[in-house]
Chains A and B, each alone.
Chain A
Amino acid sequence: MPAARTGGIANFWRTHGTALFFMLPALTVTVVLFLAPAIITVGLAFTDTSTATGLSRWGWIGGANFEQLLRSSFTSIILRNTVFYVTTTLILNIALGLGLAILSVHVRQGPGRFFRALWLLPRIAPSVVYALMWVWASASPPFGIINQLAAPIGIEPRAWLSTDPWLIVIAINGFVGASFGMIVFTSAIQSIPEDLFRAARVDGASAWQIVRRITLPLLRWPILFVFVYQAMSLLASYEYILLTTDGGPGLYGTEVWSLWAFHTALNSYYGNLQFGLGAAMATILVLIGIVVSASLLRLFHFGSLVTEPRVEIH
């Protein structure tokens, strides 16, 4: 038997050795940068590790961090905020990205490219600069570009970040996120065979009918990708909220789950960072991410989208 096992291992290396060798760099990166932190985070979630315990005086506390989150009245508020933020921003992201792609593809190539480049500016600008521009634009009266623009159309000047924080937070994230969808959708639209559009025009289809009956059905895969990717991104993103409202105003007015985890584990005003509790929050976030992405993939029939075509054309 040992000889057979040795032979099996030798066979395995003969068959898969080269593949494993070439995969080693990627595997190392995945294990060191993704898998190990994930395992450490889940482990930390069951400890009381904080600045006050240091790395030498911590202890296992079972599910006490999760129990504390269950008992906290803040949990439901922040969960509700997270669902609202992700849903509304995602809708804005996809709709705006799709609209921009369709519009910019259907104008002449030069203006279309210029228009798309313009929408990419927020993405290439540093987050802090982009957020700061919004903070200044939405400053309280008599300041703020938004107030200057809104006053002539009868909108009362206000401190937008205090009175309408979600509007600003969603706009900031929505506008910067739309450029990602715009690029993906533009590329997908341009790869649709021109014959289909010509045939539709010959048959007398209107522009709306072409978009509705040809473009959108053929964009199902990129829409699914952008939808899932952006949903996950939004679940984990908090930097623009941190830089504008910092989770306020009022009782966690715009605090989302990832920002709560950041505030708890990494940004204590008084220096006692609660790594264990923050890790419990992060663990819950990952679980939410898995459930949401699984639901979205099922909703969009991901399985049928990745099925190999029944007819191969050579």
Chain B
Amino acid sequence: MSPRIRSALAIPLSVMFAVSACSTAAPSPAGPGSPGPTGTAAAPAPAPTGVIEERTSEPIAEGQVVAIRAWTIGPDAPSYYRRDNLVDAAAALNEELEAEGSDQRVVVEASFESGGQWADYLQKVTLAAESGQAPDIVLAGHENMAPWASAGYVIALDDLLAQNPDAFADVIPRLWDAMKLQGVTYAVPQDTEARPMYYRKDLLAELGWSEDDIESLPERVRNGEWTMQDLVATAQAAIEAGVVDEGKGWYHRPTRGHDHYMFYYANGGRMQDPESGKLVIVRDALQKYFQLHYDAVNTWRITPKNFLGSDFRQWHETVTSGTVLFYNAGTWSWAEWLKTYEVPEDEQWENVGFMLIPAAEPGGEPTTLSHPLVYVVTEASENQELAFRLLAKATTPELNSRHSVTSAHLAILATQADDPTYAQDEFLKAASYMTDYTTFIPNHPNYGAYDEVLFRFLSAVEADEMSPADATEAAIQELQAQIGDELIVE
């Protein structure tokens, strides 16, 4: 063999060998109990593999038995009622079937994955759908239904909802916005939450605030009297007075996630056009959103440098140590601080308050953001109507309230407010009003690309790699390059 031929063979062989030897996928860097749609921590540290636990409803000895399979995920461990509510609803559905004189009976086989990662779970659903082995019901983030509906993995529920008008009549109306894709309903809500701005009452008192000022803060924010400008001024004053260290005036989310968009919405941003369903970027709002984060880190120094990308666990440890004045996080974090970070409940109530995200400026609206998790019925299901009816039976004040209280999620049903289990939870009761001010991320197949661009430029702005004005223009250009006609620039 001539050297020339050997050389020619060596090149592709060495490339193939090296690529095959080194392309082993590593686990994605999301922390346990969190990443992704439910919005808990997404720490840049490896996570253990998720634990999948299955439960099956009582076996049925008579009639035509139909198995309904369901996949659910936390990843936070306390959200196991996402599975158990389906399993426990089987009895009610079977009673109804018997009353109708039907010969059919359902057995529910449901799994719950905790400690795992959303990306892996979603990939599993995709592969199962492609191979025709998807379960009848899947729990997901509401935005996941956009690519799934587009690919034909999940079914539209409008006809079934119309045939069963009472089934979901109790759902808080605003939540239905997040269940639709271009006017078609593809999902029903499982739970929801809000993302408040938390504040330390003890530090405000140290700064000289009266008890009345502190206790009335949520209401003043709700009325639009106390804005983000006041928050910045208070944080700066606290740093100047030595009440908190520099960089500890305001902690936002330290990783990628939906929470950041609350400040885009508060500045007049829009993410989706309800008519066309296209994604929207509002130039002025985007620049104000970037400016706020740039100034917080680089001008006012109320947020630390090199913050985005830092460890979420360390974030929680810092805020629970009582050294940060304002910090925005999910409602579920309240329970997380009690359980995982072992803050005594009375101490937390005494020192920590929560309010909506203040309006960006006087005259503006306060806001928050919810990310409802949803159940979808798959195209692959051979028993779509029964699966839908099971979901209806699993969506009751009793079942949803036990999930809300256990996992610190807000009510999705109006009547949950009167449910004894829900009403006993002081925190949920006090935070429930926030759903009236909530916003959602869009349901669109290109939302992932949209979010990727905006998050990367937000990181660049905070790192002082770009000015907010330059980042705004560059982000819009990149969005246009990636999303094209599916983007409206306002």
Contacts and interface: CB of A to CB of B under 8 A. Distances in A.
B361 interface: no
A159 B309 CA distance: 11
A232 B118 CA distance: 31
A272 B448 contact: yes
Interface in A20-73: 33-34, 38, 50-57, 68, 71-73
Nearest to A286: B15
Interface stretch (A193-201, A206-214, A239-247): A239-247
Interface stretch (B144-152, B161-169, B271-279, B416-424): B144-152
A309 interface: no
B460 A51 contact: no
A288 to B, nearest CB: 9
A141 B342 CA distance: 23
A169 to B, nearest CB: 13
B477 to A, nearest CB: 7
Interface residues of A, number: 71
Residue with the highest number of chain A CB atoms closer than 10 Å, among B17, B36, B46, B452: B46
A110 interface: no
A273 B123 contact: yes
A290 B24 contact: no
B44 interface: yes
Contacts of A118: none
A232 B18 contact: yes
Residue with the highest number of chain A CB atoms closer than 10 Å, among B7, B19, B45: B19
Nearest to B475: A73
A258 B23 contact: yes
A307 interface: yes
Nearest to A70: B481
B254 to A, nearest CB: 11
Contacts of B456: 74, 251-252
Contact of B15 (A53, A74, A290): A290
A293 B445 contact: no
B71 interface: no
Nearest to B130: A55
Contact of A250 (B24, B26, B459): B459
Contacts of A307: 3
A72 B448 CA distance: 16
B321 interface: no
B476 to A, nearest CB: 11
Interface in B28-79: 28-29, 35-36, 44-46
B282 interface: no
Given A52-B151, A249-B463, A243 B18 contact: no
Contacts of A285: 19
A162 B310 contact: yes
Interface residues of B, number: 74
Interface stretch (A5-13, A94-102, A181-189, A262-270): A262-270
Looking at chain B's contact residues, the main secondary structure is helix
B86 to A, nearest CB: 21
A51 B148 contact: yes
A229 B448 CA distance: 35
B448 A270 contact: yes
A74 B474 CA distance: 10
Interface string B296-313: 000000000110111100
A273 B123 CA distance: 8
A313 interface: no
B22 A268 contact: no
A239 B26 contact: yes
A140 interface: yes
B29 A159 contact: no
A132 interface: yes
A289 B44 contact: no
Contacts of B151: 51-54, 56-57
Contacts of B452: 263, 269
B4 A303 contact: yes
B46 A235 contact: no
B143 A246 contact: no
A84 interface: no
A302 B309 contact: no
Contacts of A290: 11-12, 15
A139 interface: yes
B19 A267 contact: no
B44 A54 contact: no
Contact of A135 (B10, B44, B447): B44
Contacts of A246: 29, 44, 309
Contacts of B45: 132, 135, 243
B140 interface: yes
A103 to B, nearest CB: 27
B314 interface: yes
6 contacts: A233-B21, A237-B23, A239-B26, A262-B25, A268-B119, A304-B3
Closest 3 CB pairs of A and B: A232-B18, A162-B306, A54-B151
Interface of A: 33-34, 38, 50-57, 68, 71-74, 127-128, 131-132, 135, 139-140, 143, 159, 161-163, 228-229, 232-233, 235-237, 239, 242-246, 248-253, 258, 262-263, 266-274, 285-286, 289-290, 293-294, 297, 302-304, 306-307
Given A33-B20, A128-B27, 16 more contacts: A53-B150, A56-B151, A73-B474, A140-B306, A161-B44, A236-B22, A243-B26, A243-B46, A244-B44, A246-B44, A248-B309, A267-B28, A273-B126, A286-B15, A302-B3, A303-B3
